Structure 1
Amino acid sequence: MAKFTGNEGRLISSREVAQLTSPHHTLEKEIKARGENFIQAEFFGLNTFKKLIDPLGKDCVGFRVYYGAQHEDHDGKEVVIGIGKHTSRLIIVPVDSNGKDISRGIGLKDMPASDVAMAGGPTCPSHCN
């Protein structure tokens, strides 16, 4: 297997962004009809990225983005996790040059696990202009 260099992926134009996102947007009514929250996009802050990758130094050459889901209630000012509608979410995980997800270990029985990924960014359409 080839090593990851940090140059994977490609930059795309705003036209390509529209072409790639359009099919998902057309599913909004169907997703809502299934009783799910429709998520157009998620925002992740630069400072949160830095907190995630700074401790990793040069070990991190990029990110893997997983698709996940949980139940969320979007009816109030704050999103409530664990109740409400099925909601698709993104999970961003640092990756090393061998293509392996970087994990700084799992917490012991009475200790929290290390912060090894990023999730839960504010969503569009409710938090975007």
Structure 2
Amino acid sequence: MADVNRGNRPLSPFMFVKYYRLQMTALSSVMVRITGNALIAAAFLSVWWLIAAAAGPEYYEFVNGLITCWLGDIIMFLSVWALWYHLGGGLRHLIWDAGYCLDVDISEKMGWAMFIGATVLTIFTALVV
């Protein structure tokens, strides 16, 4: 039998606003993937800086000026945050692979610990280095 109520059903975005709550485990998993890709871009910037150092002093000054300007400082600061966050995600997966902390409430606390830990470690790294 044909679905006669086809046009009266809510669409998918409607579910996100009223009924669906984004879980920390899903958010932290997506963020691990995003930070992994961001670290690839940061690695390319670092390699570009090393290649510029080998190419000569004029080109090195140009690239070093780009990386050490205010925008470059922000990019490098966020790259350090991504590095710490991605490391925390890897440690979390090692714990999960061992069969520990698989309960939902503990997993959500681990997700918050990743965000907070990465932020604290990034600030510590920026202040010490």
Indicate whether the TM-score tops 0.5.
no
Q: TM-score, normalised by structure 1?
A: 0.26
Larger Rg computed on CA atoms: 2
Q: Which has the higher strand share?
A: 1
Q: Which has the higher helix share?
A: 2
